[in-house]
Amino acid sequence: MNEPASPTVAAALGATAGDEFAWLRETTTIQVSSMLGNLKTVIFGHLNVRSILSSFSDFVDILTEQEYDFFAVTETWLTSSIPTGVVKVPEYNFYRCDRGRRGGIGIYIKSMYQINKNAYDSQMEKWGES
């Protein structure tokens, strides 16, 4: 007897036709599916940090205590004059898209996950144009 197909990561994330984030969900579906193997749980988190630098040590505590696999931050308030190393967290890679004044987004991804940097850079260029 065949088991029912499990939902994909893309469906779980709510991918819809014409969605500007579809590229990320599609890429994530393939990459996460192949990387997870026997893992049963992937932990996602999000926080509107309203300046990641102002409470960075508290943020690091939250991120590392819960052992998030993926953690998105909004309103990072980072600018190109602030090096990524300033907000580096051990065992995580940080990808960011800054805005001129306030705003900005980023995502911390555990180092065990491989990210297609070319797809990321291409999409960040598109977001920067809008």
Q: What local confidence, expressed as pLDDT, does residue 3 receive?
A: 38
The burial class, CB within 10 Å (0-12 / 13-18 / 19+), for 48 is exposed
For residue 88, pLDDT over 90 is answered with: yes
The CB density around residue 102, as the number of other CB atoms within 10 Å, is 12
Q: What percent of the chain has pLDDT over 70?
A: 58
For residue 123, pLDDT over 80 is answered with: no
Q: What local confidence, expressed as pLDDT, does residue 4 receive?
A: 37
List the domains of the chain with CATH numbers: 8-42 (no CATH), 43-129 (3.60.10.10)
For residue 39, pLDDT over 70 is answered with: no
Residue with tokens 């967290």: 89
Angle at 35 between CA 116 and CA 87, to 5 degrees: 55
For residue 18, pLDDT over 80 is answered with: no
